[in-house]
Structure 1
Amino acid sequence: MEQLKKEILNNWLNIDFYSVARKIDFNNSNIEISKELILNTIRCLDYETSVVKNPSVNYVITIMALMWEYIDHEKYDIRKIVVKFLSRIGYPTSAIIADDKFDRKKNMFSPLGSVLEQLFATLNQEKNSIIVNEREFLLTKFQIEIWTAMDKEKVIGISAPTSAGKSFVILLKLLDTLLKHKLDIVYIVPTLSLLNQVTEDFNKNIKTLNIPNCNVVNSYTGQENIYTNNIFVLTQEKAISAFSDSENTFSKDMILVVDEIQNIERIKEDNDERAKILFDTLNEFRYKDNVKQIIISGPRISNIEKTGEEIFGIKTKNITTIDCPVLNLTYSICKIKDQYYLKQYCALCDNPLIMKITNPTIIEGYGKNKYNDEFLSYLNCFIEHLGQKQNIIFSPTAKVARKIACHLSGKGEVNSKIKDLERYYKKSVHPNYSMVKTLEKGVAYHHGKLPQHVRRTLEIAIRNKWITNIACTTTLLQGVNLPAQNIIIRNPHLYQNRNKYSPELSNYEMANLRGRAGRLMKDFIGRTFVLDETSFLDSESYDEENTFSDANKTLPTGYNERFEENRNDVEKIVMSNTPVNENMEKYGDLVSYIRQSVLRYGTRAVNKMKDVGIKLSKEQVAAIVLKLKSITVPKEICAKNRYWDPFVLDVIYKKYNEDVPNSPSKRGVWAKLNRMFKFLRDTPETNVMYKKYIPKRFQKGSNRSYLLNLCMSWSNETTLFDILSNNDYQNKAEDKIEDEIEDTIETLQNTVSYRVPLLLKPIFDINNPESVFLSSMQAGAYRTIPKNLIEMGIPRESALFIDKNIFNNFKIEENEEPFLIKEKLKKVVIEKRDTLPFWINEQLDVLG
C-alpha cells in the first residue's frame, strides 16, 4: 500500500504539473486521468483515513485537492467521499468547498446517500463541532485542540501554517468566554491593516452571535471600566503608550492575545524600534497579576512553548501543527546551462519534479533586478495565462508595487463598485493618484504607505474579489487576509539597487509568503510561482537543499545577545553621566533601556533586567542609581518617554523653557514649532534623537519648512485632497506627479503623524502636558468630533467627511466625559450610515 500511495501522489502531482505548464505556455504535453487512477486513489484515501492509526493529513488533503480540481465532475460525483474522508481525519471544514449545498446556518452538509454513511459522517463531525450562544461551528482537529486548551491553560503558544485558521478559533473562544465571565480582552496586532481586520471580525461576530455588553475599541483611555467587557484591539505602540500614561493601566481581569508573535524576532537588531516596543509591551503584561490567560500565536514558530516561558516566566502549553488545510504547491523557473526548466515543489516530496520548458522565448529578465518594460510585459503575459484567478504579485518596494500595477492590463470591464471607488479616490486623494489609474483595469497595489481610507476600502474590494490582481509588498507577511489563489514572486530581493545593507526575504518569510496562497474554506489549492529560482540559490538566506521548504523560526526572547556583544561599551557608559549619542548606534538603545529601568525600579531593576537578558550586578545597579540622582527631570516625564535616555531628557528639562502651543489652530504655532525643531537639532545632546525621528531630507533648509507646513496642515484638518492640490505640479511629467503624491502621503503617514510627535513629546510633557497639539498631529484633527471619530477607528478622511455631512449642527456639552461623547457619536453614525456614500459606509464596520 505504501508503494501505491507514492505512485498515486506522483501521478496527481504530475497531472497538476503538466496542466500548469500548459496553462502558462511552457509546455504543451498533457496527462489523461484514467478510471483506474481514480479507483486506486479512492482505495488509498479510504485506507489512509480508516486503517492508518495516525493518518497523514497533508497526504489526504493533497490527493483530495488535486483529484477535486481535475476530475470530470459530471462523470464522477465524488462530493460524498470528499466529505467522508476529510471528516474522518478531522478536517470537515475543508470539505465545505466541495458541497455547494452546505447549510452554513445549520452547519450541515447535504445528504451523503445511505443512512449509515450519514450517521458515520455526523459522528465524525460532532467531534469537530462547537457551539457559541446556540450557533454551531465546524472546526478542524487542530482548532478543537486550541479551543480545549483555552478552557484549561494559563499560557498557550500556538504555531501553525498561515491558513490553518488559528485566529478564527481564538476569536470564537474569546467571545464564548465573554458570555460566561466578566473580562477584558487585550488583542495586540502589529499593523493598522490587521488592527482594522481584527476589529471588524470581532464586531461582525459579536453581532452575529448576539454577545451582550461588549465594547470593541482601538485605544485605551482608562475610562472603559463602565463596560462589562472591553475588547482592546491595539498595535504594540498603542499598548505601550497606555502603560506610559497611567500606573493603573488595564486594571480589570483580562486575557492577553498576541498575534503574529514572530515580530519580536527583530529585537536582535539595533534599529528596529517596533520589535522592541512589542517585546517591552509583553514584559509590562508579565508583571500584571490580573492577566488570567495569555495566548501567543504565529506561523511556524519552533519551540513556541519556550518562547512563552521565557517571556512570561510561566509554563506554556504548546499547540503546534504542520498540517495545512490547503494544498500549497510552488512552481519555479530555473536556468541550467542556458536551458530553462520548470520545477514543482511539494512538501510531501523530497525532490521537486522538473521538466524542460519548450517555449522559453517568452521569458524575460531572468537573473536581473530591473522592472523594465520588457520584464513587466512578460509578467503581464504570465498572469494572463493563469486565467481569472485572484493573484498577488509580490513586490520588493512600494514604488515597484505601484509600477507593476500600472503596467498590468487587468481584466477589462470592472463592476460599478470599482468605478465608484475610482471616483472616491479622485475626490479624496487626487485625480492623478496612481490607484485611480490601476483600478480602471481592476488592478491594485497594496503597501504600508497607503492612506488609511484607501487601505480600508481597498482591502474590502479585494476580499469581495472585485479586484483580481494585487501588487503587494511585505505587508502581506503581517497577517493581513488578502485572499488569493496564486502568489507570484520574482526573487527574494527587497530592493532594486543593491548595497551591503540591502534586505532580502529569509527562507522563513518565503514560507509564510507561500502560505498566503489559498485560504481555509475558500480554496483547495494555492500556488506560488517563482520566476527566478537562481536568485534564491545565490542568496545567503537559502540553501539549495531547502530552498522552498516550510521553514520554522526560533524566536529570541530578550536582549541577551546584543547586550553580551556590546557589554563593555554599555557598562562603561551606564556607569557615567554621558548621554546617549550618535557614536553609540549599536547599543545606545540598551543604555537608555538600562537607565530607564533603574530609574523606574531602583535596585529591583536587577531582576527585571535579568528577565530580558541584561545581567548587571547589584553593585553596578546601585552605582547607576547614584548617577541618576544628578538629574532633575521628574521620573514621570522619563516614564512617559521610555525610549529616551534620562540624561537627554534632563537637558531638555533644563534648557528648553519656551512656550509650547495648546492647539494647532492658534496663531503663532508655526514659529513655536520651528523653534522646537531648531532646539532639538542644534543641541548636541538631543541631535541624535532629531536625526533618528526626522528623515535626512527634512532635517534642514526649505524641506524642513515644507515638513513644518505639512504638520500644520495635517493638524488643522486640511483634507488630504486639499494638501495634495496645494502642491505645485505644473509642467511636471505624469509619472513625476504620481511619485510626489505618494511621497507626500508617506510623509504624512509616517513622519508627520508618527515620528514628529515622538520627537516633540518630551518638550510637551515637560512644558505643557495638557496640550492637545501632539494628539492632533497624530490623529490629523484637533476638534472634538472628528478627533473622536478617528479614535473610534474611522479613517481620518472619512471622519472629516462624516463630521461635515452628519454633525454640522451637533453640539457637545462642555466637560462631557470622553466615553459618553464616543457613545453619542457612535449612535448617530450608526443611525445615519445608510445616508452616506457606499465607500464611506463600508468603512464603518469598526463601529459594530
Structure 2
Amino acid sequence: MEKLAYKNYENLLSKELTPFEYLKIANNYLSNSFYEKDGREMVIRALAHKQHFEPNQKLLKNLVRKSGLYPYLNKHFADVSDEHKLLIELNRSSFDKTFVYHAMQAKTLNLLQAGQNVVLSAPTSMGKSVIIDSLIASSRYNKVVIVVPTIALIDETRRRIFEKFSHDYQIIFHGSQTITRKKVVFILTQERVNERDDLKNIDLFIIDEFYKLAYQESDDDSRAIALNIALSKLLTISKQFYMIGPHIDSVRGLGNLNKNYVFIPSEFNTVALNINEYNIGGDNYPEKNNVVKSILSEYDGQCLIYCRGRNSAAKLANFLNNNIELPSNIPKDFLDWVAENYGKDWIYHRALACGVGIHHGTLPRAIQQKTIDLFNAHKIRVLLCTSTIIEGVNTVAENVVIYDNRNASKGINKFTHNNIAGRSGRMNQHLIGNVFCLERIPPNDVESRSVDVPLGLQGGNTPMNLLAGIQNEHFSEESTEGFSTFINDFRLPLEILKSNSAYSVQKLLTALDFVEDLERTSIDNLISQKTVDSSSLTIIVKFLKLVESTPLQRLRIQHEDNNILRHRISSYIFAKSHPDYLSSRIYDVYNTCSDVNERSERTEVELSILRNIFQYAVPRALNLLQDLINFVYFSDSTVETKGADFGYLMHLFENSHLPSVFTALEEMGIPIQTLEKLNAERFNDVRIEVILRYLRLHLYKFKDFTNLEKSFIKKAII
C-alpha cells in the first residue's frame, strides 16, 4: 500500500492517467481514512507538477483544502476563492501573521489550548515544533520546560526561542543559570532536568523525541533511564504536557501514570518521498560507493548521507574526495583555522576542502554548528551524518542517502529507517524528496511501531537505578514491595544510587568492592591532594576502566595493560589549557605518523577522548568514587577528617579548564580556542546573561580576535 500514490504518479507522468483521472483518484483516497495519506501525497505531487493541471486548477485547489494543506493554497496559487481565503485566515497564526497552520497543526494546537495533554506522533516534515512556539506566544504559560535529547538540539532550540521570545521570557539552558524572571523557558536535556532543584510550578513541559523513553538497541540504557526519571519529576510538578516524536502506532505504559492524554498517531505528510531501493549487501562498500557517485552525478540539490559511524563516514569521504568533483564555496579562513587547530590531514578538513561536510557527535560543537550552517547555506552540497541526523539536527535536504542500515554495530529497524528517510524534503521548500536506500529496507514489525515507557510498565526486570530516581506516586504496587526489599538488603545508601543513576546496580556493587579493597593509606593520599600524584592517578585510572568500560572499549583503551588513558589524563590535568593539551596531541600525531589516513584516525580518537571520556565519563566516575570513598571511610560521624572532594578535578574535565559558565558559551558554538582569549578572572563568577550582554556591546572592539572568531561569537550571541 505504501507505493499506491507513487504508482498513480508514475501513471500520470506516462499519460496512462489524465490529470482529471489522477485528481479523481486522489479525491477518493482523501474520502477514505485508510487511504488518506496516499491521497494527500498525490495532491502534493500534483502541486509539484502544477503545469499538468492548468485545466483542473479549481479541482486541485479544492483537493489542497480537503487534504488539510492550507498553507499551500497561498503559496502555490495566485488566485484563491473567498471561501479559501477565509479558511486561510481561520488557520493563520495569531503571533506570526506570515504563518498558516495546516489541519493537523491546528487540531493539535486547539487540543493543547483547551488544556489537554497531547502525545503527537507524526512524520518529520509535519512541523511539530511550530506548535511549541505558538503555545509560548499565547502567554498562557509562565514556566515552560522543553526536554531535548542532545546539547546540539539545546542550542538549536535556544536560538529559535531566544529570537522570538527573549523579550518576554528568560531562556535557561545551562546548569550555571538561575531563575531571575517570572516567565521562564527551560531548554534542557533529561540529565539537566534531573540535576535542577528549582523546577517548580511548571505550567507546561514538552518532551521532544519522546520515543527515547523506551530502551534503545544498545548496551547502555542510562539515557533512557534518565529520561524516565525526568518524566516522573515533570509529571508531578507540571500542569500540562506535550510530547512529540516520529510516527508510531501506540505508546504503552504512559496511561498507567494517572494522567489523561490524547494520543495522535498521525501520518500527516507535507512532502512526498520518492523511495529508491538498491538491495546492496551491507559490507559491499565498492558497490555502495559507486551508487553514491551516480546519485550525486544524476541528482541536483542538497544531499544528506547517513553512515553508521564516524569511521564509515571517513571512508566514504575519502572515496568522494578521490572520485567526484563537487561544488565548494568554503570560506578560506575557516579551512585554515581547522587545519591550524586540528591538522591538515584530518578527514574533516580534507573532505570540506573538496565540498563534503561531515557531522558526528565527536566533533567540537563549533565545527558541528558551522558545518550545518555551511550546508543549509548551500556552501557545501553533501553532508555525511551519523546518528546526529536521527536526533533532530535541523537541515534542509532534497535528497537523503541511507548508506548503512546500522547505528554503530547495531542494525536499525523500520522505525529508525523511516526517521532517517523523513529528513528528505521540507514543507514550503521541497514538495518532493528523494530517498536512496542502498541496503534492503528493514521489514515492518510490531515492536518498532510502538514505544514502551518503562516508568509505566514496571515489573520484575525494571532497573533499580530507575526506581531509585522516580517519584513515590509513580511506583507500581509490585515495584513498591520489591524496591523496599532491595533497599533493605542493598549495601549502599539510596542517595548514592540516586546520584549515580547512570550506573547499574551491579556496576555500583563492583565499584564498591574496588573501593573497599583499597589501602587506607592510599585513600588518605588520594583525598589529601588538590590534583593527583602517580599512585593516586593509578587508582583513578583503574576505577575509570572498571566503571566506564563501555565508552573506553569503543576506543580500545579499556585493557589493564593499556597506558594511553593514564597518559592522557595526566597530560590533561597538568596542561596549561585545553587548547595547549590538544595542540600537543596533534603535534604528537603528526610527528609519529606519516600516513595521512592514520593521522586522521588518530586525530578522531583524540577528539573522542576529549568529548566522550574527559567531558562525561571522567567527571561521572569521579563523582561515584567520591561518594563511595566518603561512604566507606568517612560516614562515621565521629570521624573528623573532611573526606573526599574531587570537585576541582571534576570541574577541570567537565569544563575544559575554563570557568563553568564558559561551557555554556562553548555549547552555543564559540570554540574553546576563542574562549581562551576571553578567559579572565573577572568572568569566574559572572552569570551567562552578563557575559552575553558584554559580548554584544564590545565584540567589535576586541583587537585580539580574527574576523572568523568574531563570526563564531556573533552567531552564538545573536
TM-score, with normalisation over the residues of structure 2? Answer: 0.84
Residue number among 445, 448, 463 corresponding to 2:361 in the alignment: 448
Q: Give a deviation string over 1:421-449, Cα, whole Å, max 9, x none.
A: 32232233222221211112221122222
Does the alignment pair 1:717 with 2:679?
no
* Residues 57/120 of structure 1: CA separation in 2 closer, same or farther (3 Å cut): farther
Matched position secondary structure for 2:214? helix
CA distance in 2, matches of 1:400, 1:426: 22
Question: What secondary structure does 1:328 align onto?
Answer: strand
How far apart in 2 are the matches of 1:162 and 1:201? 18
For 1:329 and 1:165, locate their aligned partners in 2 and report how far apart those are by CA, in whole Å: 20
CA distance in 2 between partners of 1:237 and 1:526 (Å)? 35
Pick closer, same or farther for the CA change 1:167–1:736 going to 2, 3 Å: same
2:169 to 177, 201, 214: 214
Q: Which residue of 285, 292, 296 corresponds with 2:234?
A: 285
Instruction: Please give the alpha-carbon distance, in whole angstroms, between the structure 2 residues aligned to 1:715 and 1:277.
Output: 34
Q: Who is 1:729 aligned against?
A: 590
Alignment partner, residue 355 of structure 1:
none
**Secondary structure in 2 aligned to 1:227?**
coil
> Judging changes above 3 Å, is the alpha-carbon distance between structure 1 residues 309 and 382 closer, same or farther for their aligned structure 2 residues?
same
* Residues 733 and 648 of structure 1: CA distance in aligned 2, closer, same or farther (over 3 Å): closer
Change (3 A) 1:396 1:270: closer
Equivalent in 512, 535, 559 of residue 419 of structure 2: 512
Task: Give the one of 418, 439, 443 matched to 2:352.
Answer: 439
d(CA) in 2 for partners of 1:411, 1:840? 32
Separation of aligned partners in 2, 1:698 and 1:446: 26
Instruction: Please tell me the residue identity of whatever aligns with 1:557.
Output: V
| Identity of matched residues, % | 15
1:122 partnered with 2:85: yes
Match of residue 811, structure 1, among 651, 659, 682:
682
Q: Does 1:184 align with 2:139?
A: no
Per the alignment, residue 553 of structure 1 pairs with 449
- Are 2:198 and 1:249 aligned? yes
- CA–CA distance in 1 between the matches of 2:653 and 2:528? 12
Residue pair 1:300, 1:551 contacting (<8 A) in 2 also = no
DSSP 3-state at the match of 2:428? coil
2:211 corresponds in structure 1 to 262
Aligned to 1:19: none
**C-alpha distance after superposition, 1:139-158 (max 9, x if no partner):** 11111112112212352111
Residue 224 in structure 1 maps to residue 120 in structure 2: no
Which one of the candidate residues 3, 6, 10 is aligned to 1:13? 10
Task: Provide the C-alpha distance between the structure 2 equivalents of 1:560 and 1:8, rounded to a whole number of angstroms.
Answer: 38
Aligned with 1:138: secondary structure? coil
Who is 2:563 aligned against? Answer: 702
* Partners of 2:324 and 2:709 in 1: CA distance: 22
* Residue correspondences, number: 685
Q: 2:163 aligns with which of 185, 204, 218?
A: 204
Within the alignment, does 1:747 sit opposite 2:609 as a pair?
yes
Question: Of 30, 39, 45, which residue of structure 2 is paired with 1:66?
Answer: 45
User: Does residue 309 in structure 1 map to residue 309 in structure 2?
Assistant: no
Matched, 1:321 2:194: no
Match of 1:148 among 107, 110, 121: 110
Distance, in Å, in 2 between the alignment partners of 1:249 and 1:430 is 44
Secondary structure class of the residue paired with 1:325? coil
DSSP-derived class of the 2:42 partner: helix
Shifted more, 256-265 versus 701-710: the winner is 701-710
- Paired position in structure 2 for 1:470: 383
The residue correspondences of 1:731-810 to structure 2 (distance < 5 A) are 731-765=593-627, 766=630, 767-769=643-645, 771-782=647-658, 784=659, 787-792=660-665, 794=667, 798-804=671-677, 807=678
Counterparts of 1:532 and 1:268 in 2: how far apart (Å)?
A: 19
In the TM superposition, what are the counterparts of 1:163-178 in structure 2 within 5 Å? 163-174=125-136, 176-177=137-138
State the shift of 1:750 in Å: 0.6
Q: Aligned match of 1:841 in 706, 711, 715?
A: 711
Q: Distance in 1 between the 2:590 and 2:258 partners?
A: 57
Q: Which residue identity does 2:9 align to in structure 1?
A: W
Measured in 2, the distance between the counterparts of 1:699 and 1:625 equals 33
Secondary structure in 2 matching 1:726: helix
> 1-side partners of 2:12 and 2:528: how far apart?
69
2:696 equivalent to 1:830 = yes
Instruction: Check 1:147–1:792 CA distance in 2 against 1; reply closer, same or farther (3 A cut).
Output: farther
Structure 1 counterpart of 2:434: 527
Distance 1:85 1:670, change over 3 A: farther
Whether contact under 8 Å (1:428, 1:797) holds in the other structure is no
User: For 1:515-536, what per-residue CA distance to the aligned partner results, in whole angstroms no more than 9, with x for missing partners?
Assistant: 1111111111112122343xx4
Alpha-carbon distance, 1:593 to partner: 4.9
Residue 392 of structure 1 is matched in structure 2 by 304
SS in 2 for 1:149: helix
- How far the C-alpha of 1:232 sits from its partner, in A, is 1.8
Structure 1 residues 638-653: aligned runs within 5 Å? 638-644=497-503, 645=505
Residue 37 (str. 1) matches residue 18 (str. 2): yes
SS in 1 for 2:682: coil
Alignment of 1:596-611 (within 5 A): 596=468, 608-610=474-476
Distance 1:794 1:86, change over 3 A: same
Deviation at 1:390, TM superposition (A): 1.1
Per the alignment, do residues 742 and 87 of structure 1 end up closer, same or farther by CA in structure 2, a change over 3 Å counting? same
Asked if the contact 2:4/2:38 (under 8 Å) is kept, the reply is no
- Pairwise mapping of residues 539-578 of structure 1 onto structure 2 (< 5 A)? 542=443, 546=444, 553-558=449-454, 564=460
- Give the direction of change, closer, same or farther, for the CA distance of 1:609–1:122 in structure 2 (3 Å limit): same
AA of the residue aligned to 2:537: N
Aligned 8 A contact 1:262 1:555 in 2: yes
State the distance in 2 between where 1:678 and 1:720 align: 19
Assess, with a 3 A threshold, how the Cα gap between structure 1 residues 773 and 491 changes in structure 2: closer, same or farther.
closer
> How far 1:224 moved relative to its partner?
2.4
Equivalences for 1:466-505 in 2 at 5 Å? Answer: 466-490=379-403, 492-494=405-407, 502-505=409-412
Q: Does the C-alpha gap of structure 1 residues 159 and 8 become closer, same or farther in structure 2, counting only changes over 3 Å?
A: closer
Alpha-carbon displacement from aligned partner over 1:6-63 (angstroms, at most 9, x marks no partner): 99974522466xxxxxxxxxxxxxx4x59x82354466667888xx597965345433
Residues in 2 aligned to 1:697 and 1:809: alpha-carbon distance in whole angstroms: 35
Alpha-carbon distance in 1 for matches of 2:527, 2:168 = 40
Under a length normalisation based on structure 1, what TM-score does the superposition of the two structures give? 0.72
RMSD: 3.8
The structure-2 alpha-carbon separation of the partners of 1:825 and 1:279, relative to structure 1 and needing over 3 Å to count, comes to same
Amino acid at match of 1:279: N
* Aligned match for 1:89, one of 67, 75, 92: 67
Aligned-residue offset at 1:391: 1.3
Using the alignment, how far apart are the partners of 2:366 and 2:5 within structure 1?
Answer: 49
User: Deviation of residue 235 (structure 1)?
Assistant: 1.5
CA distance in 2, matches of 1:453, 1:188: 22
SS of the equivalent of 1:743 reads helix
Matched AA of 1:218? F
Distance, in Å, in 1 between the alignment partners of 2:547 and 2:644 is: 20
In 2, are the aligned partners of 1:779 and 1:796 still within 8 Å (CA)? Answer: no
Cα shift at 1:250: 0.5
Q: CA deviation at 1:298?
A: 1.0
The one of 821, 832, 840 equivalent to 2:687 is: 821
Letter in 2 for 1:748: L
Looking at structure 2, the residues matched to 503 and 8 of structure 1 have their Cα atoms a distance apart, in angstroms, of 32
Is the aligned partner of 1:331 residue 2:276?
A: yes
Aligned mates of 1:267, 1:382 — CA distance in 2:
32
Q: Is the 8 A contact 1:390 1:484 kept in 2?
A: yes
C-alpha separation in 1, matches of 2:657 and 2:57: 55
